[in-house]
Amino acid sequence: MKVRILLALTFANAFLTLSAQEGKFGFIDFNATLRRMPDYIEAEANLRNIQSVYQDELDRSKREFERQYIEFMLEQDHLSASIVAKRQKELQLMMDNNVQFRDEVQMELEAKRDELLIPLQKKLLNAVQEVSTELNLDYVVDTGKGTYLYINQERGVDISDQVGSRLGIEKKVEKVVEGGQPVLNAEGNDNNIEQ
């Protein structure tokens, strides 16, 4: 009888230990949630307005180029070779400027998008971390990308060094630099400081 009780207690203890080791996880579709945020909707509206202004200018430039190109094509038979060459250079320059402007617009729109959305992404990530802590979750999976948004550092085990060792990657060590800020770098290589 005592053996059965002892076995039952051992089994229950093992089951509880295994259950605790499995961990509790949450999941969320990060981008879908981001798109539902009121601030995101406002940011997207701002981006559309800015893009519309740029698109109007791009369209105007394109129409102007097309107008001058058609005029040139209609007149070129009546122009001297030097004027034809001059107009071709002008058209080429106008086309190059339009392409450059389009590229600059694209870069500015991407920068503006980052400026508006990165704070919202951080805000959402902070909310994920707060809820995860409140619910005592060990990790949260982004179902949209299959990535982890949150990992409980106290319950998780960082196996980076062990895996790196098997792959022949030098172990990273922490160094304290001027000002007392710790930074990681590969052992024996001061040029690989990560910040």
Q: Please give the Cα distance from 25 to 136 (Å, whole number).
A: 9
* % of the chain exceeding 70 in pLDDT: 66
- Asked if residue 133 belongs to a domain, the reply is yes
* Average pLDDT of the residues of the chain: 77
Does 144 have pLDDT greater than 50? Answer: yes
Structure tokens at 11: 């089994």
Stretch 151-170: mean pLDDT: 65
Q: In which band, very low, low, confident or very high, does the pLDDT at 186 lie, cut at 50, 70 and 90?
A: very low
User: How distant, in Å, are the alpha carbons of 31, 110, 186 from that of 26?
Assistant: 16, 32, 34
Res 7: pLDDT: 40
Structure tokens at 171: 């172990």
**For the chain, what is the domain count?**
1
Does 159 have pLDDT greater than 60? Answer: no
Considering only 63-77, 92-106, 149-163, which range has the smallest mean pLDDT? 149-163
Q: In which band, very low, low, confident or very high, does the pLDDT at 162 lie, cut at 50, 70 and 90?
A: low
Does 91 have pLDDT greater than 60? Answer: yes
Higher pLDDT, 22 or 60: 60
Between the two ends of the chain, the Cα-to-Cα distance in Å is 62
- Asked if residue 8 belongs to a domain, the reply is no
- CB contact at 8 A, 140 and 128: yes
- CB contact at 8 A, 87 and 73: no
Stretch 159-174: mean pLDDT: 63
What's the pLDDT tens digit per position in 2-45? 544 444 445 444 444 444 456 778 888 888 888 888 899 999 99
Whole domain around residue 143: which residue ranges?
Answer: 22-156
- Whole-prediction pTM: 0.57
What's the pLDDT tens digit per position in 110-131? 999 999 999 999 988 888 888 8
